[in-house]
Amino acid sequence: MSAPRIGVVGAGAFGTALAVTLARDGRAVSLWSRDREQVAAMRDGRENRARLAGVVFPENVSVTAEIAEIAESQAVLLCLPMQGLRAFLATTGRALTDRPLVACCKGVDLETLTGPSAIMAEALPGSPHAVLTGPSFAADIARGLPTALTLACREDRDGEMLQRLISTPTLRLYRTDDVTGAELGGALKNVIAIAAGVVMGAGLGESARAALMTRGYAEMAKLALLLGARTETLSGLSGLGDLILTCTSAQSRNFRYGMALGAGTGFDPSVTVEGAATAKAVSNLAKKLDLDMPVTTMVAALVDGRLDLSTAMQTLLSRPLKKE
């Protein structure tokens, strides 16, 4: 019996890490990038030096720029930036019709104000789809360090199949049918991670970060529950677990970006910071829902340059006293 084949769309650090760890566990993996120069470099060097240097590709990882090769897979992991997912599926997605799709991005689309599951369902309504999210860094996954993630899928049969296909001895997947909660937990924690970074970059201290994380989590839960999520999802891996990781580690791009904002230093514009766009999208969604989300609103204003740090801090600290 031949090994299952998995397609990974997007050769960033996370997509590369998933490709490597799945291949080590015996899968045949096709790793896709639209950048043909990147594909040639990865084929020649057998590593992704630009995104995950030092991690050697197993023999059963093939690198391709042909989407037709990905379409032959039993499942396709979409490891693309959230703001690029809709465009990719609109222009290239037809080749993946009827393939099970797993979105590995975290965020809210700026134009539709929806998460990845809605975008996949609209673009390819005949394809089973799920969302993979939770506390994880690409470097840890690639090194084979133990990692637990949430696989969110509304259909139990599809979810069980994907859980078996993607799980490895070091990558443990927990399944849920609460796609809304899993998506929003993964998206909103990036916004709070930026805010936590701002606090630390501005030198406000660990106590302030703890307070920010706690109030940020309350804000996450308020929006998610309003949109139909379940409380236990927000308190699980895809919510609280991911929040703790990204608010406390400099491996988090969102946290590092927030630190740069707080310290008033520059940040590499080539680095994808999902929480920046998500803050804008969720701020707009909160206005639409008439929902008070002060941390998200502050982050969106800081990212846009509509608010300076001193004013942002003063605005938060001067809010009316109330019950927790």
Just list the catalytic residues: 189
Residue in the structure block whose two tokens are 């043909």? 36
Q: How many CB atoms lie within 10 A of CB 91?
A: 10
Contact between 238 and 134 (Cβ < 8 Å): yes
- Residues whose CB is less than 8 angstroms from the CB of residue 13 and which lie 6 or more positions away in sequence, other chains included: 48, 51, 52, 138, 139
- 101-103, strands of its sheet edge to edge: 61-64, 28-32, 5-9, 75-78, 101-103, 129-133, 147-152, 171-176
- DSSP secondary structure string for all residues of 146-207: -EEEEEE-SSHHHHHHHHHHH--SSEEEEEES-HHHHHHHHHHHHHHHHHHHHHHHTT--HH
Q: How far is CA 263 from the centre of its chain?
A: 25
Q: How far is CA 207 from the centre of its chain?
A: 27
Query: Can you tell me the distance from the alpha carbon of 259 to that of 37, in angstroms, rounded to the nearest whole number?
Result: 33
Amino acid present at 166: I
Long-range contacts of 316-324, Cβ-Cβ distance < 8 Å, separation of 24 or more = 319/294
Contact between 223 and 191 (Cβ < 8 Å): no
Query: Can you tell me the distance from the alpha carbon of 38 to that of 208, in angstroms, rounded to the nearest whole number?
Result: 42
Residue in the structure block whose two tokens are 């049918």? 177
Q: How far is CA 85 from the centre of its chain?
A: 12
Query: Can you tell me the distance from the alpha carbon of 180 to that of 185, in angstroms, rounded to the nearest whole number?
Result: 8
